[in-house]
Amino acid sequence: MRFNIISYFLSEGISNVFKNKKSTFACLSVMCATMLMFGLFYAIGENITNVLRQVESEQGMQVFMVREATEADITRLREELRGIDGINDITPVTSEEAFEIMQNRLGDRRHLMAGHEPTMFPFSFIVTLTDLNLNDSVQYQISGLSNVDDITSRNDTINALANIGGWIRAITLIILLILIMISVFIISNTIKLTVHARRKEISIMKYVGATNGFIRTPFIIEGIIIGLLSGLFSIVLVSIGYTLIEGWTAPRISVNTNINVRV
């Protein structure tokens, strides 16, 4: 008996999908559009956040050591930098590398460096951060370390990026919440219109003694089927769109902190 009831619910739910073609098409269209819009804004928000994180990971400061620093001092400072919370990466810049960087910047005027030695440039470390909001705290801790002569940092750029990141995350979250509310409103009204269109059918079932659960179950099964079909269609559309742009490579955005050289 129970098997017959389950098979009846399934058959009714499936048949309703094809029997009420206009209602089914309307529900599919609305749900597909809703899913695509939600997925689109979510993907845009995630991409913007990832790009921002990439840019943030490249920002930091350059720590110059005193000229008298020995190899032991360099090793000790590197270990001390690694022990500071908020530091993401530490890249050493030797005197020879700083000398070569200066020559490259001079270009055709590199002859001005003739007669000078790489030792004119102090050893330094490029330090990037895990979070731009920790810039001031990290800079303060580094300034208290021994053998540190000077610290250069693009504080204006870092603070601007931190503010932009906060605003973008807040705006993305607000847009997603608005889309969720719109989606719930549209889908709920679509369901109400579907039930209203079948009010005669529901009334007849009520007259013959059908319970609310008996009447509601085929509608639930129909909604599940339409939801699955909407998700499938959305995935297919997204896959087609991805295939069309697969060969296009987005330009890499970089606002890397330039290596400074000091004489």
pLDDT in tens, 14-46: 777 777 777 777 777 877 877 777 777 777 777
* Structure-token pair, residue 136: 């001031």
**Per-domain residue ranges for the chain?**
2-53+167-244, 60-153
SS3 88: strand
Burial of 156 (0-12, 13-18, 19+ CB in 10 A): exposed
CA atoms of 114 and 5, how far apart (whole Å): 94
Class (C level, CATH) for 60-153: alpha beta
Residue 152, amino acid: T
- 124 Cβ contact list (under 8 Å, min separation 6): 62, 63, 64, 65, 92, 93, 98, 260, 262
Question: What are 119-151's pLDDT values in tens digits?
Answer: 788 888 988 888 777 888 888 899 889 888 888
Does this model's pTM top 0.85? My answer is no
